[in-house]
Structure 1
Amino acid sequence: MIKVDRVSKHFGGVKAVNGVSFEVEDHENLILLGTSGCGKTTTLKMINRLIEPTSGAIYIDGKNILEQQSETLRRGIGYVLQNNGLFPHYTVAQNIAVVPNLLKWDKQKTEKRTAELMEKLHLDSSYLNIYPNELSGGQQQRIGLARALVSDPPVLLMDEPFGALDNVTRSKIHAEFKALDELKRKTIIMVTHDVQEAFELGDRICLMDKGKIVQNGTPTDLLFKPKNEFVKDFLKEQRLLLELKTITLRSLWHLLSNEEIKGVEPGILVNNKDNLWAVLERTTFFNAERLNIMDLENKELKTVSFESLMSAFYQYQKRDRNE
């Protein structure tokens, strides 16, 4: 859906982006991850031509973006900013209607689509007639997302979309983000410097440094097959938490044996698609000593103790690191 081919951006003698190449599949969520100044936001802005590349080519759905009018290109791309980018003198309804008005939608179509998104984003319709400064940070970010999604663009670009939110609000919006059906139909590129956010939301991650991509791969690839010391060091402080949030019970399935556990309360039921972190949270909350793990695809059930689960996790860690 998106192809970035040897793209560079120079500001005078500074190479902000230096020969970057990657592809994003249809309906995939790619994360550009890195510290401030690594070139990730410049890369993102070149995709919708807010910044023109010095060299290289960018294609969306097979079409070179430099061969299109920039205004036309941007109407087909949703764009979400860190500080939401809402117009302060427009009401919420007027903010959401910006692109539909440019596309000359009739009023009824705009209002219907706006109402649909407000419901999906858990926003009361009473907010439509108020101004952005009357909303909380989380509400403003949801309105910014609604504005980006209203015309149903196939591509969504997100620049540190949750960076200005507190941890509690961010965690809640992450959960909504993953559950929102609108986003499952989009090809998304998201910029973040938050490692946990990248691993939680990304199908693939491009880790950048000094204008170049150091490694492009799945979260599991970066954790267990780091390309070099830079990747290892970048993830080192949060490694255990990232592993728990990345490894699913399905990944451990072949290491788990069905057990008969006597003298223990009936265990909690979990899905083998769940990650270990989510399972540990549930296990702690219910004070459970055993788990009933369901594989819905193959209609299998395994009962395991908490100790067996953790033993399988340690085996998986050791095997993947050795590979």
Structure 2
Amino acid sequence: MIKVERLAKTFGTTKAVNGISFGVNTGENLVLLGTSGCGKTTTLKMLNRLVEPDSGTITINGKNIVHQPRELLRRDIGYVLQNNGLFPHYTVAENIAIVPNLLKWDKARTQRRINELLEKLHLSKEHLNVYPNELSGGQQQRVGLARALAADPPLLLMDEPFGALDNVTRSKIHADFLALDELKRKTIIMVTHDVNEAFELADRVALMDNGQIEQIGTPAELLFNPVNDFVKDFLKSQQLQLEFSTIRLDDIWEHLPDSGKKINSSLLAGRLSVWEALEHFKFYQKETINILNQQNKEVKSISFDQLMNAFSQYKTLQPHE
């Protein structure tokens, strides 16, 4: 859907973005990860022409974006900011309706869309006529996301969207983000400096440094096949935690023994991470948990030790081991 070629931007003597190239598939969530000043936000802003590149090309659905009027380009791109960017003198309903109003939707259609998004994002209709400063940080961010989604754009750009939230609120919104059908139909490019957030939400991660992409790939590829010392060192301090959250039960399925009596409890889906399975042990303190392989419908009942053994066996088969 998106193709970026040799993109460059200089501010004064600083090369903010230094000739990067990458592509993003339709329906993919690509996260631009890196420390402050690495060029990730500048890259994001060039995609909707908030910043104009010095050189290089960006095409969206085969069309060069410089050949389109900015205002028309942006109507097909949702944009979510770290501090939500809501207009303080507009109510929640007025904020969400901004793009539909620009597109001259009728009032009934706009209201249906607002109500639909409120329900999907777990906001009450009582919030419609309040102002942003009357909402919590998490509620404001949900309204900002609703505004970006209001006209159902195919592409969503998110610049540190959860960076201003406390850890508990951020964790809840992450879960909602992954579960929201509305977002599963979007192509998303997100900027973050939070490694755990990137690995939790991304289909692929582009790790940037000094205006360049050091490596782009799935979270597992960055963890187990780092292309250089920068990538390895960047992830080193959180390596084990990232492995727990990146490796899925499906990944280690062949290493899980089928033993133990199956307990009467809900099944854990194989798409869950090892970390989520460990939390189930932690919170429910069961001797075994049941895991469902959704492809062959097989169920295995495993203990904590068996889960950890399978995790270790999987890791030993990875190239970096």
CA gap of 1:117–1:255, structure 2 versus 1, over 3 A, is same
Q: Deviations over 1:6-63 (max 9, x none)?
A: 1000112211000111111001000000000000000000000000000000011111
Cα shift at 1:290 = 2.1
CA contact (8 A) 2:263 2:290 kept: no
Distance 1:277 1:29 in 2: 21
- Structure 1 partner of 2:150: 150
Q: Secondary structure at the match of 2:318?
A: helix
Distance 1:165 1:306 in 2: 33
- Structure 1 partner of 2:135: 135
Cα shift at 1:260 = 4.5
Q: Deviations over 1:257-305 (max 9, x none)?
A: 22246xx977873222211111001112221222322112212122333
CA contact (8 A) 1:267 1:289 kept: no
Distance 2:178 2:263 in 1: 33
Normalising by structure 1, report the TM-score: 0.96
Distance 2:320 2:42 in 1: 37
> Which amino acid counterpart does residue 186 of structure 2 have in structure 1?
K
> Which amino acid counterpart does residue 315 of structure 2 have in structure 1?
Q
Distance 2:99 2:313 in 1: 52
Question: 1:214-293 to 2 correspondence within 5 Å?
Answer: 214-260=214-260, 269-293=267-291
- Structure 2 partner of 1:307: 305
- Structure 1 partner of 2:50: 50
CA contact (8 A) 2:96 2:147 kept: yes
Distance 1:233 1:270 in 2: 33
Gaps spanning 5+ residues in structure 1: where? none
- Structure 2 partner of 1:31: 31
Q: Deviations over 1:58-81 (max 9, x none)?
A: 011111001100110001100000
Distance 1:75 1:267 in 2: 47
CA contact (8 A) 2:159 2:190 kept: yes
CA RMSD of aligned residues (A): 1.4
Q: Secondary structure at the match of 1:320?
A: coil
Distance 2:320 2:92 in 1: 53
Of stretches 114-123 and 252-261 in structure 1, the one that deviates more from structure 2 is 252-261
- Structure 1 partner of 2:76: 76
Distance 2:101 2:304 in 1: 56
- Structure 2 partner of 1:17: 17
- Structure 2 partner of 1:187: 187
CA contact (8 A) 1:246 1:275 kept: yes
1:316 aligns with 2:314: yes
Count of aligned pairs between the two proteins: 321
> Which amino acid counterpart does residue 284 of structure 1 have in structure 2?
K
> Which amino acid counterpart does residue 162 of structure 2 have in structure 1?
F
> Which amino acid counterpart does residue 268 of structure 2 have in structure 1?
V
Q: Secondary structure at the match of 2:314?
A: helix
Distance 2:320 2:103 in 1: 55
1:296 aligns with 2:300: no
Q: Deviations over 1:194-234 (max 9, x none)?
A: 00000000000000000000000000001000111111111
Distance 2:175 2:21 in 1: 30
Of stretches 4-13 and 62-71 in structure 1, the one that deviates more from structure 2 is 4-13
> Which amino acid counterpart does residue 156 of structure 1 have in structure 2?
L
Q: Secondary structure at the match of 1:220?
A: helix
Q: Secondary structure at the match of 1:249?
A: coil
CA contact (8 A) 1:250 1:273 kept: yes
Cα shift at 1:255 = 1.4
Q: Secondary structure at the match of 1:250?
A: coil
- Structure 2 partner of 1:173: 173
1:6 aligns with 2:31: no
Normalising by structure 2, report the TM-score: 0.97
Q: Secondary structure at the match of 2:216?
A: strand
Gaps spanning 5+ residues in structure 2: where? none
Distance 1:112 1:270 in 2: 35
Distance 1:29 1:100 in 2: 25
CA contact (8 A) 1:204 1:216 kept: yes
